[in-house]
Chain A
Amino acid sequence: MPIEVTEDLIRAVTTKDKALSDGRTLAKKGSFKATFRTADGSLIWGDCQGSGAKPYVLSIDLAGDAPTIRCTCPVKPPPCKHTLGLLVLFLEQPAKFGVGEPAAELIEKRAKNVERAEKRVEGAAKPSTSNVAAQKKKSEAQRAAIDELLEPLLLDLLNGGLGTIDGKRAAKLVEQARQLNDAYLPGAAERLRRIAALSTPRDDDDDTYYQLREPGDDLPDEQRHRLLTRHVTRLFAMVRKGRKYLDEKLEEGESQDDADSVVEELLGRVWKLEELKQKGYARQSLVLLELAYERYDDHVREERIEQSFLLELGDGAIYVDRTFRPLDRMDKMKEGESFEKPLLVSEAVVYPGFVNKRIRWEIAARKSRNLERADLDAIHARALPAFDAAVAKLKEQLKNPLAPDEAVLLVQIRDVRKLSDGGLVAIDGKGAKLDLRDSPLARYRSLGNLETTIGASLDANGALKQPASLLVRLYVGLADEAIHGQPLALIVGHDHVRVGM
């Protein structure tokens, strides 16, 4: 069954709005000649007159999980305006595409694609001999690096004391992080760079809050040291769990999911969708609704991170659709999308992880529809009934030393009140109270926005209108090691307000 060409699909493959706009213009202009399709509509092709003498030759293969887009124009990577224009033309004027036989070259390329896809599936199920050998060599390098590089430098750091790390030592840590990277331990390398960034506190009067160099580098020493301790204990957990994982041993009580999450965290493997499917991480027929969207620049990773928090209307899980774009190549990659409409995803993979698992899907597997009032009713129905359920989920996550110290959860609330120190407190149906405040590690402030929204959502008695659900990031405070919450979105009745960014 070929991928259906829809407006959604075209927007999903577009990396630059201007290219799509230009593509629409080309379609309008009648720039495409000799446009054809196969009888089953799985392959479309044609020519497009460019500025040169010879027209560009383009094709789009709609078989498989994602369109394969090709054009002889110099713009790379695809899609260019020509291929987007061809898709637009196919969507709006399908009659202009005669039924034909594709060139042998296109058939050959498709066959190779199919072969590659099959190999990927096979490779995921049963790696080839050469793959096995390469993987073994890599694992050995990683194992050796854990023993000979990571653990010794960690212990050396502690022998001297975290408080003695000065600029010179921090620079050395960054150099050692490069060595870890070279030894295929990118997760540990990143953690070490964060330690280096935190160790030399920022000391200026600049009160800009957005895009902190590294969250926490402007905290008082006591809290900064606590944060350093967390990073260090996490690195140590990587040492222990990494050894066990590479030795193919599971800890008592550890699930395969837990073990697989080590792979991403420490070893930094970039999961292929097929691998995840083979391991049983696929889910079908999801209806996802974006509750919040964030974007920030991570200067340690040197990437822009865009993440959408998606509520699965079926079971209430909060997933994250996360995009990483290198800061020096952002114009080459598609921006992480914010989804204003509900998504219907026929098949997605859910990464191993904790409360907020990362989710990905093939382009062709996703459609959208208009938001309905029933969707907003479903938000309240899927929200956790009280804070104790949310705290239980967070604490379960925290049992794993590699897990983040925070989790985004959706909870029903009865009211929000103001504290004399300017903070807010959310109250659930059981009367339990959650202290709401902007995390000192947050990359933006949202508490004031929540207060304004609450103030505008009161009933005649001054209480919060019902039903009300709060999307909140629960985190363990650095100063008191107690659980606080930073609000991300508030849904009151059928009004959904995003308070964070």
Chain B
Amino acid sequence: MPRETIRKLSENTERLLVAGAHLARGNAELTRDKEALDQLIAKLGAKSPPVFAKLAEQLAKTLTAPGKTQALELLSLATSLAQVRAGLAQLAPVPSDDTAVPVAHAVETPCNAKDLYAVHDALVTTGQGRMEVIDSAVERGDIGDLRLVHAVVQAMSDAYIGATVADKVVPQFGRAIVEPIRKKLRFPGSKVDGRRLRALVAVQKDEARDLIDEAIATGSADMRAAAFDAIADHLPGAAGLDALALAALDGDKSGEVRRAAVRALAGYGTDASLQTLLEALDDARTLHQAAEALAKSRHPDATTRLLERLESSRVEAAAKVKKDDKAAATKRDAARSRVSAVLRALSEHRDPRIAPAVRALLEVAPILAAQTLVAQGHSDDLRLVADLLHKDYEPEFRVAVDALGKLPVDEAFDRVMALFVAKDRDTKLGKARLTALRSARFVPVGPRWAPALLALLGGAVTRPEALAWMIAATGDAQAVAPLMAALEREKKAELAAELVDALGTLGDKRALPPIIARVAAGELRWSISHAVLALADETTVDAVRTLFAALKNPNQNWELSYLLRSLERRYPGH
């Protein structure tokens, strides 16, 4: 009762402060409040707090104050009321429908205060250098900080960094970021809402079905496309969603939505989905998406139907046309596109019928056909494709290396080692072959490699820079000492950088002193910085600082300056 009386009085006083003190004199509401207060005081009797009497007195003054003093009296009343209400304040009532807090995965708070606000500001304010700050935080591994959740959610809508944040940063938070993103999600939705939807499905998977359904039923074209993309990327083959994709392909006017719906059909094994995808192969607007989806099709007849398509296009694709026969050339090119699409579609299917059909297409679509044969994995075909490495057509070298990687270890070993000692190793093609090993990320498996490669390194091999990365790729710890020795005697900066890069990859801290010596020799470049940072500990700070200090104009060497600052940030106080 007292609380309610005071509350009403306070509200009416507040209204007068807002409307104007000149309305206070004789105000009807205040008069009623005074009566209520007087009754309360009378009821409480001796137990009535003295402050109530003071309030009543002040209220009386306010009701009767002449114009000049109305504001003063009203303000005095408001001030007294503020203190009374403060004294009456209680814990807010809480409903009794509380439930347990759901179990959650912990999200750490790894960021120190300085970096935290720097990253936060990069996420939510505009300006230069934001992407670099965010990329650094991703690389450091401390962007997944609980306190950045809301800033990350906000940044998803940023025109410049939004896509990067959605793809690289959001996944670092897991389920902790779901609710905040959900709260921001709007329908029919914009492109940004589409981004939010994809991020939610990536984390929640099937738990986000409600959002997918709503996006497809009521969403904008951006949202509908995002929903189908999300199905394709995160819910392949999920029950019931193919019907939505088929309906969209039947009636949606948006090309973007239709392309995404084609992608979403991947992973389904129904007749309707297979037929629709095959038809989509005939449409240039959906050709690529159909090929991608058919590659993942689970329909038992998918391979058969694709091979039929391949056969029906093969002859046309292989046709020889006269130079000035444009119509024939167009027809042939269209057939070749279809063949390429079908080959892509076949890339993830495994069937003994595929290899013979594809072999016949090595002339028509050499790289795609070779890739398909490698995927099928028959030994003879692998050798056939691996032999492409000895031919003269560079674009085929990468797929040839892929084939090498699938051959028996000893056979691959012999073929690769031969490349290092081939007579033409220093020609353009010879170098391209060795480069292809690296760019295709050939992985040397087994204990034979490291000793053999090291032996080459120590010999009169003129392509040593092509060896270093491969030695590191073996992961063989026995390679560290020989690489260090090679580094110490190496005079050429370019090769030294390769050796340093290899040592950084192997991750053995023993390699740090000779690497630092290279820095001392002024050979700092990105690969060397990277290796130093990979192997560093607290003592590295002083070592690099010593080198920095020894420079005539230290601050003009931005690479070394950057390396030193990176180390100082990692090891503060050193």
Using a CB–CB distance below 8 Å, which chain A residues touch chain B? 7, 11, 17-18, 21-22, 24-30, 154-156, 158-164, 207-210, 225-226, 228-230, 232-233, 236-237, 293, 295, 335, 338, 340, 387, 391, 394-395, 398-399, 401, 416-420, 424-425, 432-435, 444-446, 448-449, 451-458, 462, 476-477, 480-484, 497-501
The yes or no answer to B79 lying at the interface (CB within 8 A) is yes
Nearest 6 pairs between A and B by C-beta?
Answer: A455-B104, A338-B113, A161-B20, A29-B549, A456-B106, A398-B86
Known: A401-B82, A417-B100. A425 touches B109 (CB 8 A): no
Question: B149 contacts A28, CB within 8 Å?
Answer: no
**Interface residues as binary, B102-127 with A (CB distance below 8 Å gives 1, 0 otherwise):** 11111101001110110010001000
Q: Bound state CA distance, A417 and B86, in angstroms?
A: 27
The yes or no answer to B90 lying at the interface (CB within 8 A) is yes
Please, could you name 27 A-B residue pairs with CB atoms under 8 Å apart, sorted by A?
Answer: A7-B573, A17-B568, A25-B548, A28-B549, A29-B549, A154-B75, A161-B19, A163-B18, A164-B20, A208-B154, A225-B17, A232-B78, A233-B78, A236-B75, A338-B113, A340-B112, A399-B86, A399-B87, A446-B147, A448-B180, A451-B179, A455-B103, A456-B107, A482-B93, A483-B89, A497-B146, A501-B116
Q: Which residues of B contact A458 (CB under 8 A)?
A: 100-101, 103
Q: Bound state CA distance, A298 and B534, in angstroms?
A: 41
Question: B549 contacts A398, CB within 8 Å?
Answer: no
Q: Bound state CA distance, A452 and B108, in angstroms?
A: 10
Q: Which residues of B contact A445 (CB under 8 A)?
A: 150
Q: Which residues of A contact B568 (CB under 8 A)?
A: 17, 21
The yes or no answer to B95 lying at the interface (CB within 8 A) is yes
Q: Bound state CA distance, A25 and B554, in angstroms?
A: 9
Q: Which residues of B contact A210 (CB under 8 A)?
A: 120, 124, 150-151, 154
Residues of B58-110 contacting chain A, CB below 8 A: 70-72, 74-76, 78-79, 82-83, 85-87, 89-95, 97-107, 109
Q: Which residues of B contact A208 (CB under 8 A)?
A: 124, 154
Question: B91 contacts A482, CB within 8 Å?
Answer: yes
Q: Bound state CA distance, A161 and B573, in angstroms?
A: 58
Question: A229 contacts B17, CB within 8 Å?
Answer: yes
The yes or no answer to B14 lying at the interface (CB within 8 A) is yes
Question: B101 contacts A449, CB within 8 Å?
Answer: no
The yes or no answer to B517 lying at the interface (CB within 8 A) is no
The yes or no answer to B550 lying at the interface (CB within 8 A) is yes
The yes or no answer to B22 lying at the interface (CB within 8 A) is yes
Question: A155 contacts B101, CB within 8 Å?
Answer: no
Q: Which residues of B contact A24 (CB under 8 A)?
A: 545
CB distance from A476 to the nearest CB of B (A): 6
Question: B112 contacts A420, CB within 8 Å?
Answer: no
Known: A21-B565, A233-B79, A398-B86. A498 touches B109 (CB 8 A): yes
- A501 touches which of B83, B92, B104, B147 (Cβ 8 Å): B147
Known: A160-B20, A161-B17. A482 touches B150 (CB 8 A): no
Seed contacts A158-B74, A458-B100; 5 additional CB < 8 Å A-B pairs: A17-B568, A233-B82, A236-B76, A401-B82, A449-B147
Q: Which residue in chain A gives the minimum CB-CB distance to B123?
A: A210
Question: B146 contacts A499, CB within 8 Å?
Answer: yes
The yes or no answer to B564 lying at the interface (CB within 8 A) is yes
Q: Which residues of B contact A484 (CB under 8 A)?
A: 92
Q: Bound state CA distance, A250 and B120, in angstroms?
A: 47
Question: B545 contacts A391, CB within 8 Å?
Answer: no
CB distance from A501 to the nearest CB of B (A): 5
Known: A451-B101, A483-B90, A501-B147. A401 touches B79 (CB 8 A): yes
Known: A456-B104, A498-B109. A483 touches B92 (CB 8 A): yes
Q: Which residue in chain B gives the minimum CB-CB distance to A240?
A: B79
Q: Which residues of A contact B546 (CB under 8 A)?
A: 28
Known: A401-B82, A483-B91. A420 touches B97 (CB 8 A): yes
Q: Which residue in chain A gives the minimum CB-CB distance to B542?
A: A28
Q: Bound state CA distance, A208 and B20, in angstroms?
A: 34
Question: B91 contacts A434, CB within 8 Å?
Answer: yes
The yes or no answer to B176 lying at the interface (CB within 8 A) is yes
Q: Bound state CA distance, A8 and B99, in angstroms?
A: 47
Q: Bound state CA distance, A417 and B99, in angstroms?
A: 6
Q: Bound state CA distance, A207 and B87, in angstroms?
A: 35
CB distance from B105 to the nearest CB of A (A): 6
Question: B146 contacts A452, CB within 8 Å?
Answer: yes
Known: A21-B565, A28-B546, A445-B150. A335 touches B114 (CB 8 A): yes
Known: A208-B154, A448-B149. A159 touches B124 (CB 8 A): no
Known: A28-B546, A155-B71, A449-B149. A476 touches B89 (CB 8 A): yes
Chain B CB within 10 A, most for which of A233, A295, A484: A233
The yes or no answer to B480 lying at the interface (CB within 8 A) is no
- B20 touches which of A28, A158, A338, A481 (Cβ 8 Å): A158
Q: Which residues of B contact A435 (CB under 8 A)?
A: 91-94
Q: Bound state CA distance, A448 and B74, in angstroms?
A: 41
**Interface residues as binary, B134-177 with A (CB distance below 8 Å gives 1, 0 otherwise):** 00000000000011011100100000000000000000000010
Q: Bound state CA distance, A482 and B89, in angstroms?
A: 5
The yes or no answer to B388 lying at the interface (CB within 8 A) is no
Q: Which residue in chain B gives the minimum CB-CB distance to A157?
A: B71
- B79 touches which of A164, A236, A418, A448 (Cβ 8 Å): A236
**Interface residues as binary, B286-313 with A (CB distance below 8 Å gives 1, 0 otherwise):** 0000000000000000000000000000
Residues of B535-551 contacting chain A, CB below 8 A: 542, 545-546, 548-550
CB distance from B222 to the nearest CB of A (A): 19
The yes or no answer to B412 lying at the interface (CB within 8 A) is no
Known: A158-B75, A159-B70, A160-B20. A501 touches B179 (CB 8 A): no
Chain A CB within 10 A, most for which of B14, B83, B101, B565: B101
CB distance from A86 to the nearest CB of B (A): 15
Q: Which residues of A contact B101 (CB under 8 A)?
A: 416-418, 424, 451, 454-455, 458
Question: B97 contacts A398, CB within 8 Å?
Answer: no
The yes or no answer to B21 lying at the interface (CB within 8 A) is yes
Q: Which residues of A contact B545 (CB under 8 A)?
A: 24-25, 28
Q: Which residue in chain B gives the minimum CB-CB distance to A224?
A: B18
Known: A26-B549, A401-B79, A477-B92. A158 touches B146 (CB 8 A): no
CB distance from B83 to the nearest CB of A (A): 6
Q: Bound state CA distance, A2 and B97, in angstroms?
A: 62
Q: Which residues of B contact A444 (CB under 8 A)?
A: 150
Q: Which residue in chain A gives the minimum CB-CB distance to B569?
A: A17
Q: Bound state CA distance, A295 and B117, in angstroms?
A: 8
Q: Bound state CA distance, A98 and B14, in angstroms?
A: 73
CB distance from A307 to the nearest CB of B (A): 11
CB distance from B61 to the nearest CB of A (A): 15
Question: B104 contacts A451, CB within 8 Å?
Answer: yes
Q: Which residues of B contact A417 (CB under 8 A)?
A: 98-101
- A401 touches which of B83, B90, B98 (Cβ 8 Å): B83
**Interface residues as binary, B186-224 with A (CB distance below 8 Å gives 1, 0 otherwise):** 000000000000000000000000000000000000000
**Interface residues as binary, B512-546 with A (CB distance below 8 Å gives 1, 0 otherwise):** 00000000000000000000000000000010011
Q: Bound state CA distance, A233 and B79, in angstroms?
A: 5
Q: Bound state CA distance, A22 and B83, in angstroms?
A: 55
Q: Bound state CA distance, A25 and B75, in angstroms?
A: 63
Q: Which residues of A contact B573 (CB under 8 A)?
A: 7, 11
Chain A CB within 10 A, most for which of B83, B113, B564, B568: B113
CB distance from A410 to the nearest CB of B (A): 17
Q: Which residues of A contact B107 (CB under 8 A)?
A: 452-453, 456
Q: Which residues of A contact B147 (CB under 8 A)?
A: 446, 449, 498-501
**Interface residues as binary, B325-344 with A (CB distance below 8 Å gives 1, 0 otherwise):** 00000000000000000000
Question: A456 contacts B105, CB within 8 Å?
Answer: yes
Q: Which residues of A contact B100 (CB under 8 A)?
A: 417-418, 458, 462
CB distance from B269 to the nearest CB of A (A): 38
CB distance from B70 to the nearest CB of A (A): 7
Q: Which residues of A contact B116 (CB under 8 A)?
A: 501
**Interface residues as binary, B549-565 with A (CB distance below 8 Å gives 1, 0 otherwise):** 11000110000000011
Q: Which residues of A contact B72 (CB under 8 A)?
A: 155
Q: Which residue in chain A gives the minimum CB-CB distance to B3?
A: A481
